[in-house]
Structures are given as C-alpha cells and as structure tokens.
C-alpha cells in the first residue's frame, strides 16, 4: 500500500512538473502535435471570408494569372488582350497566351517573442500561447495549400522564414519559433512559482530604455513586413502590441492597406483588470516593490486604460478587410485559431 502511494505521488509530481514546464516553454514536438487540430481550425472549402479578395483565391483552371502555361491558337471568346502577336506573325495564324492562375498564396505568420511576451499569472506565458496559435494556423494554412512562412520578433532582432509549400514551410517556421523562444526566455522563466504568486509591473515598466527598444522592434517588424509581403498576402499577427502608440503606428497602417492582416492581441487577464483588492508584491526580476489595488479609482483607471488601448488598436484594423481579435492566455486556443483562419483569404 505504501509503495503504491509513493508511486502515485511520484507520478503526480512528475505530471505537475511537466505541466509547469509546458506553461513557460515550447518544444518542437508540442508544436508538431498541434497538426491534429487542422480539421477544427482550417476554413471549410467554399466558405466565404470577411476579407475582400484582391485577386485572392484562384481556381485550378487555366486563365489569367502569374504563371505562363502555353501558347495555342486563338479560339472565339478568348481574351484579345492575350494574343501573342509575335507567334501570330510567324505562324500566320492568331495565337493567344494562356496562364495558370495562382494556386498558392504566401501566408505569413508573425510571432512576437519580445520580453513582454514572457509573462503570465495563470495557464501559460503569452509567448507560449502565441507559439501554439502560430503552429495551429500554420498547419491549417498548409492544408489549404498556402505557402507558409513568417517573421519572429525578439529582443535580438527579426528572423524571417521565407514561404514554402506544405509541411516544409511549417517545419521551418516552428523550428525558428522554438529556437527563438529558448534564447529569448528570461532567467526567471523557469520558475512558475514566481510568475504565479507575484505580479509583474506590466503597464509602468521600470526600465524606459528597454520599453523603447521593445517598441522599436515592433515598428521594425512592420517595416520589414512591408518589404517582404507581396500585395494581397495573408498575414497572421500574434502579439501583445506592447509599445504600439499613435506616434509609431504608421508602418502598421501602411501594411494594412495592401495586405490581409488578422491580428490576435494576446494578453494576460492581469493586463485587463487588477486582482481582488489587496497589497501585492511586484518585481521586474531584480527590484521589488508593492502595489495597492484597494482603491476603486485605481482599479477603474487600470481597466479603462487597457480598454482604451484595445479600442485604439481595433480602429487601426478597421477597413481594408483586416481584422482584430483578442485572446487571453486562459482562452481555449482552437476557437481562436479558427477565427483567425476564417478572417483571412487563402488557397483552396
């Protein structure tokens, strides 16, 4: 009896340790297993998306497009603008050019792994949630025959993954996510107790220079996306939007004009509202202080500030077929990934 109890306690401890590890880190095996969510996440064939298509989903038939297929004799009803006059002159018979319409479109997944994403008071880091959502969307996009690529944002810079077909493109993206997550996690990231029992100062960061650097990385990411995203590309943006302001949102506004962007605002419940009234210990990992949440005015101001930032971001995504949605780290991820896929056009 004692032996069975000891084994049971050991198993339970191991299970809890594994769960705690998964809340602060990601592995390639975890992200590959999310391929099993494709059926629930992918957009059903023939479903209409909210975003208007600017030369978007193409058919499998021959027609006007980007890829040259052949030259053949002109048939009544063919587009006269496609007549190949050189071949017509040489052969003495009217010929027309035929093109294969584009079957696969680039689908870019942007995962924010800046220091602000390595935070949580429950369930998992925002960075872990973003990584898992990115994997779900990537597998679903690949199953729709999109060419999957992306961009990883970190404190060390940007990592671009060029779009590729099928699982090849997805695997490259997932490897970069895992690699960047491992190198970007702070030293305290492996201590779940620290993140569960203390409140990190989220809004008023004690290091202005770090906050400015983080904001600059986000702006650089939007500028880089403008260069690498072809007009009409589908872009899934997974970020907490930390550092985005009216003064530095110009690059994002330009990106939204020429592409289909679905932005998922990943946040922790603590960022939306304060916990029950009390005095809490807060820390940035080095210094410690206290935060008093007993005043109703403080609590209301905190909640209104978050809602205002969300509304300002939502307004940026209004129009041009773009979309904005929120995801708490406590939310079920499959429905969120499904909403992302249904808001973006893609190949079928």
Taken in order 46, 144, 42, 151, the sign of the CA dihedral is negative
Residue ranges of domains in the chain: 25-51+105-342, 62-100
Does position 65 have pLDDT exceeding 60, yes or no? no
pTM given for the model: 0.75
Distances (CA, A) of 247 to 88, 125, 252: 57, 28, 11
Q: What is the pLDDT of residue 289?
A: 86
State mean pLDDT over 116-137. Answer: 94
113 — pLDDT class (breaks 50, 70, 90)? very high
Which pLDDT belongs to residue 347?
52
Cα 311 from chain centroid? 19
How far is Cα 251 from Cα 206, in angstroms, rounded to an integer?
27
Write down the pLDDT at residue 300. Answer: 93
d(CA 330, CA 120): 10
**CA pseudo-torsion sign 148, 345, 134, 303:** positive
pLDDT given at position 54: 42
Topology of domain 25-51+105-342 in CATH is Rossmann fold (3.40.50)
Q: How confident is the model at residue 80 (pLDDT cuts 50, 70, 90)?
A: confident
Beta strands in the chain (DSSP E): 62-63, 67-73, 95-100, 106-112, 147-154, 157-164, 199-200, 234-239, 260-267, 279-283, 288-292, 323-328
Determine the Cα–Cα distance for residues 134 and 158; give it in Å rounded to an integer.
16
Pairing of strands 288-292, 199-200: unpaired
Write out pLDDT tens, residues 211-243. Answer: 778 888 999 999 999 999 887 789 999 999 998
Length of the chain: 348
Q: Residue 8 above 60 pLDDT?
A: no
- What's the CA gap between 264 and 246, in Å, rounded? 19
DSSP state, residue 238 = E
What is the mean pLDDT of the segment spanning 108-136?
A: 95
Residue 151 pairs in a beta bridge with 110, 160
d(CA 207, CA 249): 22
pLDDT digits (tens, 9 = 90+) for 140-168: 999 988 999 999 999 889 999 999 988 99
Q: Which of 186, 120, 190, 112 is nearest to 154 (CA)?
A: 112
């Amino acid at each position: 009896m004692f032996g069975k109890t000891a084994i049971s306690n050991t198993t339970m401890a191991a299970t809890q340790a594994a769960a705690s590890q998964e809340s602060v880190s990601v592995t390639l095996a975890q992200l590959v297993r999310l391929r099993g969510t494709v059926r629930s996440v992918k957009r059903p064939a023939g479903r209409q998306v909210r975003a208007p298509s600017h030369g978007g989903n193409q058919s499998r038939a021959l027609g006007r497009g980007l890829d040259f297929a052949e030259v053949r004799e002109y048939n009544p009803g063919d587009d006269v603008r496609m007549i190949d006059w050189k071949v017509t002159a040489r052969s003495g018979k009217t010929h027309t050019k035929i093109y294969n319409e584009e079957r696969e479109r680039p689908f870019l997944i942007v995962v924010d792994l800046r220091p602000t994403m390595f935070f949580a008071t429950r369930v998992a880091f925002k960075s872990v949630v973003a990584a898992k959502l990115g994997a779900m969307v990537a597998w679903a996009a690949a199953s729709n025959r999109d060419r999957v690529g992306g961009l990883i944002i970190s404190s060390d810079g940007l990592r671009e993954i060029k779009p590729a077909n099928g699982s090849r493109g997805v695997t490259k993206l997932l490897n970069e996510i895992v690699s960047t997550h491992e190198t970007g996690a702070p030293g305290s990231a492996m201590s779940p107790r620290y993140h569960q029992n203390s409140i990190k100062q989220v809004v008023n960061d004690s290091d202005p220079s770090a906050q400015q650097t983080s904001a600059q990385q986000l702006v650089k990411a939007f500028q880089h996306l403008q260069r690498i995203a072809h007009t009409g590309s589908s872009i899934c943006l997974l970020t907490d939007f930390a550092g985005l302001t009216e003064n530095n949102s110009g690059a994002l506004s330009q990106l939204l004009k020429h592409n289909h962007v679905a932005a998922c605002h990943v946040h922790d419940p603590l960022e939306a509202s304060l916990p029950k009234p009390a005095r809490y210990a807060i820390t940035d990992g080095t210094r410690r202080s206290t935060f008093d949440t007993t005043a109703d005015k403080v609590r209301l101001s905190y909640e209104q500030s978050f809602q205002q930032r969300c509304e300002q971001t939502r307004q940026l995504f209004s129009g041009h077929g773009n979309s904005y949605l929120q995801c708490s780290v406590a939310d079920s991820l499959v429905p969120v990934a499904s909403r992302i896929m249904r808001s973006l056009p893609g190949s079928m």
